A and B are shown apart, each in its own frame.
Chain A
Amino acid sequence: MAQSTGERRFLSVEAANGLKMISPTAIYATLLLAVPLVLIFAYSFMTDSYLSILSDFQWCNYYGNCASYKIVDGVLTPLQPYQGVWSDPLAQTLLMRSLYVSLSVTAATVLLSFPVAYYVSFHVEASRKSIWLFLITIPFWTSYLIRVFLWLAILGYNGVVNTTLMGLGIISEPLSFIVYNANAVVITLAHAYAPFAILPIFVALEKIDRSLLEAGRDLGESPFMTFLRVTLPLAIPGVISAIMIVFIPTVGDYVTPALIGGPEGKMIANLVQLQYLKLDNYPLGSATAISSMILVAVTLISGLALAKLFARIYGRLSGSTVWAVSVLGAAVTCVAFSAACWTIGWVIGPFVAKFLCIAVGHIGLLIGLKLTEARP
């Protein structure tokens, strides 16, 4: 009894010390991060007025018709009408394009990075791993703006790709589909976020107990099946962190679409910037920013839920055909799901529902190929 009281006191002293130690950083983050985030959430329900914000609660920044007000002769007068985020076709297009670009970037970086992480973890000598990781991270730390700008030099009409291909006589006029559109944004972002995808996957692969692989081989699995049923499932936590760490920031990327997106490749961050700095409409800008985060959260949560569902269903199966059944099942589910989504979207009209469904299907497939059910 006495011991447990003493232990509790020890723990509470430790807790107090820990809280004291972290408080400067925690207070800083609260004041400059948590409070501002709550503030923009609150702003998104307020009313825009000339040189000030009125705290009247309203939904119209998100949906419906809205207006900026001005006080004329003591009377509040609507000055500038505008549409809420989810009623504005431009905002809808940009939100969906951001989602599309971000999902493509996530899929490309994760799929392309996995073999690199695998190589460094499994085939590079222990002493040389950190030099490989260092080489992989260097480009990530060097001037983002300059790198984006160089992609313009590479992909542009007079860029490296076009001048080279034309010089070789392969094409007679510059390729236009690789610059000033969403494709260019995807290529540039996939390049920029590659290390972000490699590192978490590498860390997950490093944690795998190598004797498990030998056990798999000893039990008669081929190297490929061992990879599928042992290595891949154990790497999934790393893949999920990679997906999160690439997907979330890329939805809100500003520089790349601004510099090389052209009018066809602008994304939601460009609209947020316009609404805040040019239109000076803080409530609408806040509503747009919050909407993009809601979109991210919904996509990720439903994607993960779908993956869990797959895992549970296929976890019930057993035998050597489990993997084939899993993949086939996942594919069929995804196709059916996408088809259902297209139909719903087609019926509802605005393509919001449609894109959202496909987004969910994409991420679901990505993680859903999960194989989390393989029991090593």
Chain B
Amino acid sequence: MKGGGFKVYAIAYLIFLYAPIVLLPMFAFNNAAIIAFPLSGFTTKWFAALWEEQALWDAAKNSLLVGVSASIGATILGIFAARASTRYAFPGKAGILGMIMLPLVLPEIILAVALLVLLLGLGMPLSLMTVTMGHILVCTPFSIAILSAAFQSLDKSLEEAAYDLGETPVTAFGLVILPLVMPGIISSLLICFTISLDEFIMAFFLAGTESTLPVYIFSQVRFPQKVPVIMALGTILVLLSIILLTTAEYFRRRGIARTGGKDTGGFL
């Protein structure tokens, strides 16, 4: 069979990739306080215990607030940059885009300490606001990557037709371009929300006394008795991420199909 050996290898690789995620619910429903095999029976008590953690609910609320604000902020910045990079040629384009995309490769700890130094230098108190600013910085490159694909496959003649029919650049953007790239925008919002929900370093350095979900998880990990509860929380978070990502992927594909582009696959 064609590529038989490769197929076996690729499937083995997928199993390696998914191993931790598959183990997660096994331990979350396991009736034992320590994380080890063999499993000792089914229970939902770790999920029930989640309800009683007030700190967890506060962290979840914070994460939700930061995630929604950061995804909206990053997507708006992403729309500007993606539109500029796909539609216009201008001097210094590669340099400017390179700087904007830098957070994609720079270690997050560098970004976090640099922002920390700036914010403290300006005398700005650390809060959820500062975390949101950091998350916008981290999410914008991903948003640009998704939106560039959406804008790239846009047919320029549609826009020109709108101009010929008397629309101004602003109304043409609102009436023609925005609806066409809308699936890309939704996809970007969902991906940015997922990233923000998961982001730890920025939140750890910039949150001050407040904590987001990853910061809360990090603080609980050192208590062995809390571990099964964290597994339960993890199961919920992973499920949530998968739902968000699947929706994002659906919209991304629909967007590409709508503008008549060819699907090259993948978010990155």
Contact = CB atoms under 8 A, between A and B. Distances in A.
Contacts of A144: 198, 200, 214
30 contacts: A18-B89, A21-B84, A21-B87, A21-B88, A25-B100, A28-B136, A33-B103, A33-B111, A40-B110, A113-B13, A116-B13, A118-B6, A119-B10, A129-B265, A132-B265, A142-B237, A143-B198, A145-B200, A150-B234, A154-B20, A160-B36, A167-B38, A191-B17, A195-B268, A245-B104, A252-B107, A253-B107, A253-B109, A272-B113, A276-B116
Nearest to A252: B107
A135 B105 CA distance: 23
Interface stretch (B40-48, B51-59, B156-164, B241-249): B241-249
Number of chain B interface residues as a range = 35 or more
Given A130-B266, A135-B14, A249 B99 contact: no
Interface of A: 11, 14-19, 21-26, 28-30, 32-37, 39-40, 43, 112-113, 115-116, 118-120, 122-123, 129-130, 132-139, 141-147, 149-151, 153-154, 156, 158-160, 163-164, 167, 191, 194-196, 199-200, 202-203, 206, 244-245, 248-255, 259, 269, 272-273, 276-277, 282, 285-286, 289, 292-293
B117 A40 contact: yes
Contacts of A195: 17, 268
A252 B110 contact: yes
A159 B37 CA distance: 7
Nearest to B77: A25
Contacts of B121: 39
B118 A150 contact: no
Given A22-B84, A159-B36, A123 B2 contact: yes
A167 B76 CA distance: 55
B125 to A, nearest CB: 16
A191 B17 CA distance: 6
Contacts of A137: 245, 266-268
A149 B230 contact: yes
B83 to A, nearest CB: 6
Contacts of B113: 40, 272, 276, 285-286, 289
Given A139-B21, A199-B266, A276-B116, 9 more contacts: A22-B97, A29-B137, A36-B115, A36-B117, A115-B9, A158-B36, A167-B38, A248-B106, A250-B107
Does more than half of chain A's interface fall in helix, strand or loop, or is it mixed? Answer: helix
Interface string B124-156: 000000000110110010001000000000000
A130 B265 contact: yes
A127 B194 CA distance: 26
A15 B238 contact: no
Contacts of A122: 3
A143 B96 contact: no
A18 B106 contact: no
Contact of B117 (A26, A43, A130): A43
Contact of B20 (A22, A151, A163, A250): A151
A36 to B, nearest CB: 3
Given A29-B100, A150-B20, A39 B81 contact: no
B36 A163 contact: yes
- Greatest chain A CB density within 10 A among B2, B205, B241, B268 is at B268
Contacts of B242: 138, 142
A92 B87 CA distance: 47
Given A123-B2, A138-B245, A248-B107, A33 B268 contact: no
A167 B83 contact: no
B109 A28 contact: no
A293 B230 contact: no
B214 A116 contact: no
Closest 7 CB pairs of A and B: A252-B107, A18-B88, A123-B3, A18-B90, A36-B114, A130-B265, A22-B84
Contact of A149 (B17, B38, B107, B234): B234
A163 B37 contact: yes
